[in-house]
């Protein structure tokens, strides 16, 4: 099945793209997607524990959400700022 991974801030810098389309086996979880991405982009391992994940704009836990065809998975690192 095809899913889209969306990257923001430091995760986008590591991957070098705002979006990737990936083929995953049916029944894959968010954790499976993250594992695949960390294999392909080892720099993501450094920020893995601080990434928030949303599927189709809903925040999810890695192991509780099975992915479906055409899902959009956003990997969101913590942001800082202020004024």
d(CA 83, CA 73): 30
d(CA 12, CA 63): 23
Q: Is residue 81 part of a domain?
A: no
pLDDT given for residue 24 in this prediction = 96
pLDDT given for residue 63 in this prediction = 81
pLDDT given for residue 52 in this prediction = 93
Query: Which domain CATH number covers 70?
Result: 3.10.20.30
Each of the 83 residues of the chain gets a pLDDT tens digit; together they read 999 999 999 999 999 999 999 999 999 999 999 999 999 999 999 998 899 999 999 999 888 789 999 999 999 998 765 55
Please give the residue range of the domain that contains residue 31: 2-76
Token pair listed for 29: 């979880």
pLDDT given for residue 81 in this prediction = 55
């Amino acid at each position: 099945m095809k899913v889209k991974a969306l990257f923001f801030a430091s995760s986008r810098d590591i991957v070098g793209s705002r979006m990737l389309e990936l083929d995953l086996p049916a029944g894959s979880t968010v954790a499976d997607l993250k594992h695949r991405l960390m294999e392909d982009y080892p720099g993501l391992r450094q920020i893995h524990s601080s990434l928030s994940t949303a599927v189709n704009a809903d925040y999810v836990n890695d192991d509780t959400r099975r992915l479906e065809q055409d899902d959009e998975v956003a990997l969101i690192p913590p942001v800082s700022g202020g004024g």
